[in-house]
């Protein structure tokens, strides 16, 4: 059974230590319980996907305690300042451009140039965020595809031993996820409706806000476009080695040609390590003069499904 503790000074200190060690801590927010990990630690972020059994990498929301903690993470815009002032702390998530040297793992963004950020109001969440001083990546603390958890017991039932500590702060006040609003295009777009309504957002911004729907041409939610995660260079999958000027992205022990440049997702064949390295290594190899990126076969088990899903998109016709 997983360790469940009521929120107090000791459990917060333990939670902070665990998070600094790259472990996972479930904690209450005003929306639903979150499965938290250090957003700057690629291994911790990979283990969030693994613990949830999330079949694909859907980008994660990064939580911080106050507005100035976002300065290193994202590029502020006028609209972001307005919405931050109006609705934070609270159930609103902003999608913004990552800052140039954003310390959050690229896996948090699922390889996108953007980062989703939120400042929760729940006092226990605030206490935890202040104690760690870290940006915390946290999706809902439930197994993928299941109901979101609004009590510590839901988390324990859904995630069992896949979480190192569950902080019990009682029932969540709101119980549905935050409103996700993308501020990176000309018209703000609600990617996921939530506690803050379109009308509230339009009133605060003084402009129209679109609502994403699959049938409109509004900007897409990530993971829906077949070639969303594409690097500049062509990608060749299931390659035993590189050909001529290709760069090679290896996995496990390799005997083939390492090509013009080579990186290994996980020399020991560990899929969590590979997931943590995937987006950063793809980027590192995505430079001239290489003619393309050849990628080793990745097993279709565990996090391998998510890795292969992203690789397929990276290799898809553009």
Cβ-based nearer residue to ligand AMP, 47 or 221: 221
Binding status of residue 140 toward Mg ion by CB under 5 A: yes
Q: Which does residue 192 bind out of ligand AMP, Mg ion, none, counting CB within 5 to 8 angstroms by kind?
A: ligand AMP
C-beta of 32: minimal distance to ligand AMP in Å?
Answer: 8
**Cα 152 from Cα 170, distance rounded (Å):** 7
Residue 271 in tokens:
């899929």
Q: How far is the CB of 140 from Mg ion (least distance, A)?
A: 3
Q: Considering the rule CB under 5 A, would residue 29 count as an interface residue with Mg ion?
A: no
Instruction: Please give the residue ranges that form the binding site for ligand AMP (CB under 6 A).
Output: 58-61, 95, 109, 112, 114-116, 139-140, 177, 180, 182, 191-192, 221-222
Least CB distance to ligand AMP at residue 37 (A): 12
The least CB distance from residue 52 to Mg ion, in Å, is 8
Q: Residue 107 or 295: which CB sits closer to ligand AMP?
A: 107
Q: Is 97 exposed, middle or buried (0-12, 13-18, 19+ CB in 10 A)?
A: middle
Among the listed ranges 137-145, 160-168, 232-240, 246-254, the one in contact with Mg ion (CB under 5 A) is 137-145
Q: Shortest Cβ distance from residue 47 to ligand AMP (Å)?
A: 15
Between 144 and 291, name the residue whose CB sits nearer to ligand AMP. 144
Q: Which is nearer to Mg ion, 137 or 233 (CB)?
A: 137
Residue 148 or 266 having the CB closest to ligand AMP: 148
- Asked whether position 158 contacts Mg ion by CB under 5 A, the answer is no
* Comparison of 32 and 80: residue with beta carbon closer to Mg ion: 32
Does 108 engage in binding with Mg ion (CB under 5 A)?
Answer: no
């Amino acid at each position: 059974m997983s360790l469940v503790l009521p929120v107090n000074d000791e459990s917060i200190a333990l939670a902070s230590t665990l998070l600094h060690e790259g472990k996972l801590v479930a904690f209450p927010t005003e929306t639903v319980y979150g499965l938290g990990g250090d957003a700057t630690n690629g291994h911790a972020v990979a283990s969030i996907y693994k613990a949830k059994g999330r079949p694909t990498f859907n980008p994660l929301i990064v939580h911080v305690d106050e507005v100035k903690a976002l300065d290193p993470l994202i590029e502020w815009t006028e609209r972001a300042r307005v919405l931050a002032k109006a609705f934070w702390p609270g159930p609103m998530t902003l999608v913004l451009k990552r800052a140039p040297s954003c310390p959050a793992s690229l896996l948090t963004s699922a390889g996108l140039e953007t980062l989703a950020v939120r400042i929760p109001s729940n006092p226990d969440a605030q206490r935890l965020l202040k104690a760690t001083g870290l940006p915390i990546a946290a999706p809902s603390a439930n197994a993928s595809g299941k109901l979101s958890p609004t009590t510590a017991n839901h988390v324990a039932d859904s995630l069992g031993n896949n979480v190192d500590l569950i902080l019990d702060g009682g029932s969540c006040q709101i119980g549905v996820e935050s409103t996700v609003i993308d501020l990176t295009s000309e018209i703000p777009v609600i990617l996921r409706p939530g506690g803050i309504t379109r009308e509230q957002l339009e009133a605060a911004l003084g402009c129209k806000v679109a609502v994403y729907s699959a049938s409109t041409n509004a900007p897409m939610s990530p993971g829906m476009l077949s070639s969303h995660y594409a690097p500049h260079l062509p990608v060749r999958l299931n390659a035993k080695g590189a050909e001529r000027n290709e760069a090679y992205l290896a996995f496990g022990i390799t005997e083939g040609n390492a090509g013009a440049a080579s990186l290994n997702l996980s020399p020991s064949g560990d899929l969590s390590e590979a997931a943590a390295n995937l987006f950063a290594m793809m980027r590192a190899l995505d430079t001239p003069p290489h003619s393309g990126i050849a990628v080793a076969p990745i097993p279709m088990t565990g996090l391998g499904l998510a890795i292969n899903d992203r690789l397929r998109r990276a290799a898809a016709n553009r």
